[in-house]
Amino acid sequence: MWPEVDFREIRAFLLLAEELHFARTAERLGLTPARVSQMIRSLEARLGGRLFDRTSRRVRLTPLGEQLVREIALPYGELQDVLARASQGASGVGGTLRIGLYSLLSGGPHMTDVVRTFKTRHPRCELEFINISYERGAREALHGGEVDMLATRLPLTAPEVTIGPVLSREERVLLVASDDPLARRDSISYEDIADRVVSDVTAFPRQVMDAFIPPATPSGRVLKRLPNHSAEDTLMRVALGEQVHPTVRSFLDHHSHPGVIGVPIRDLPSSETALVWLTADRRPKIDAFARAAADVIGRTGLAEHGRPATVMRSASG
């Protein structure tokens, strides 16, 4: 029996087993690659065997490492949940937590797992998801008390708002009519839509809208915008050839039309969504849900590799 267990080493081991890359693992842990390597060596010394084969080009699990992942990943996750429930037991996490979504896309692919984790830890707190339509301002719903948290697209700069865990990070596609000449392309550049009409949602913060659908092409040609009032409105206008719609890959997983397809946009950066809430609102249930989201995303990762969000960062910085 070990005299002690360093859970930081176990977490570092599981993340490295997932990433198979010291730099990415270090980034997720907020440490240096050298510190991660030191932790792995310490764990290997305790076990008496190597967990990873390392070369200058690759990292891979040894048979001992593979065995340890199989046997420890589930109990480690269960222990995390037990400790989280114990630490939150007297925190007063109860009542109803209202989370605003303008679309299922903004919740990201792991929202169901986040909810399950949160409800396991805090069974006395109910969750309510509220649709923030294209016609209503999401931040206004937050300031007005209609919702406690928002799952919204980034970037969002507002000094009174805290940006929490990133929920999704997706590549960009252009929705076009299936008979549009662009539909035959393998990919397009943003310059290719210089003479097209694109979507606009006036209720969204202009910073968010302009980042998601840039108002001009790389050469500086300003795009004409057409106000859209719902996802269905957008799809119908695209199918009719009245406009095109730059969006993310998962849009057509949640909203579809037989006359609309998505074509990759190769020169727009990926788009992120995240949880946000009012910085002044320090109720335990908000912090608890943010931590549940951060834990799930930390275990599962995002669709694209990159820096996972910390639980909190100022929207003004």
Last residue of a domain, one of 56, 72, 88: 88
Statement to judge: residues 259 and 177 lie in one domain? yes
Check if the beta carbon of residue 268 is closer than 8 Å to that of residue 86.
no
Q: CATH number of the domain that 301 lies in?
A: 3.40.190.10
**Residue 264 structure tokens:** 């990759």
Check if the beta carbon of residue 278 is closer than 8 Å to that of residue 145.
no
* 2 found inside a domain: no
Statement to judge: residues 158 and 297 lie in one domain? yes
Secondary structure element (H or E) that encloses residue 153, with its range: strand 149-153
Angle between helices 63-88 and 284-300 (to 10 degrees): 170
**Under the phi-then-psi rule, with left for phi > 0, alpha for psi from -120 to 50, and beta for the rest, what region is 41?**
alpha
* 56 found inside a domain: yes
User: How big is the CA angle at 295 (ends 290 and 296), to the nearest 5 degrees?
Assistant: 100
Statement to judge: residues 159 and 279 lie in one domain? yes
* 270 found inside a domain: no
Residue ranges making up the domain that contains 140: 95-166+275-314
Instruction: Provide the residue-wise pLDDT of the chain in tens; the chain has 317 residues.
Output: 455 677 888 888 988 998 899 988 888 777 888 999 999 999 998 888 999 998 878 899 999 999 999 998 888 877 776 766 665 555 568 789 999 988 888 888 899 999 999 999 999 899 999 887 665 666 677 777 788 999 988 888 877 889 999 999 999 999 999 999 999 999 999 999 999 999 998 777 788 889 999 999 999 999 999 998 888 999 999 999 999 999 998 898 888 899 999 999 999 999 999 999 998 888 889 999 999 999 998 877 664 433 333 333 334 44
